[in-house]
């Protein structure tokens, strides 16, 4: 069985908003660009027409991708307030007192610069289901083992 994609409510809303934009405003922009390029005459050597048609193809591909994600993905629901789940921000502290935090998200929402980690990553998978006060350890991509204590869990 294939893995089910999981989205946070915010991630789902971002996809809904992008779909609305692509089906509306973006679609209209591309149609207008194609209309203007056709008005220039010969389409066989019309770079503007080719570019607009490529934009149209890419836009339609993304629309289909978003529709598929929205149709098949599961939105993470709030679970026990004491446990880490998708959509939670988890604060961690290492043995030296250094604090860090991560927000657990579905794979399509991962953003390392914003400290959003996938529930399928080594850290994310280790944190899911854990509670405040639990000690956790996981390997970083470089192979280094990190050990932390969960100091707080917040819902988004």
- What residues does CATH 3.10.50.30 cover in the chain? 88-155
DSSP codes of every residue in 62-85 = HHHHHHHHHHH-EEPPP--TTB--
What HEC string does 114-140 produce?
Answer: HCEEECCCHHHHHHCCCECCCEEEEEC
- What residues does CATH 1.10.287.180 cover in the chain? 6-75
pLDDT digits (tens, 9 = 90+) for 61-77: 999 999 998 888 877 76
**pTM, two decimal places:** 0.60
Q: Which residues contact 144 (CB under 8 A, 6 or more apart)?
A: none
pLDDT at 131: 87
pLDDT at 59: 96
Could you say which DSSP state residue 18 is in?
H
pLDDT digits (tens, 9 = 90+) for 101-128: 999 998 888 998 999 999 999 999 999 9
Task: Identify the CATH number of the domain defined by range 6-75.
Answer: 1.10.287.180
pLDDT digits (tens, 9 = 90+) for 36-64: 988 887 777 788 888 999 999 999 999 99
Tell me the CATH class for 88-155.
alpha beta
Mean pLDDT (whole number) for 83-105: 91
Q: Which residue has the tokens 């679970």?
A: 79
């Amino acid at each position: 069985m294939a893995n089910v994609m999981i989205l946070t409510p915010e991630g789902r809303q971002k996809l809904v908003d992008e779909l609305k934009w692509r089906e509306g405003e973006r679609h209209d922009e591309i149609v207008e660009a194609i209309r203007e390029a056709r008005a220039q005459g010969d389409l066989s050597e019309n770079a503007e027409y080719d570019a607009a048609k490529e934009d149209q193809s890419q836009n339609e591909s993304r629309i289909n991708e978003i529709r598929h994600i929205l149709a098949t993905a599961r939105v993470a629901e709030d679970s026990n307030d004491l446990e880490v789940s998708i959509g939670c921000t988890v604060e961690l502290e290492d043995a030296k007192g250094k604090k860090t935090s991560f927000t657990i998200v579905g794979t399509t929402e991962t953003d390392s610069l914003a400290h959003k980690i996938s529930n399928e990553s080594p850290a994310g998978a280790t944190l899911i289901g854990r509670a405040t006060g639990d000690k956790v350890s996981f390997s970083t991509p470089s192979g280094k083992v990190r050990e932390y204590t969960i100091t707080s869990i917040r819902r988004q």
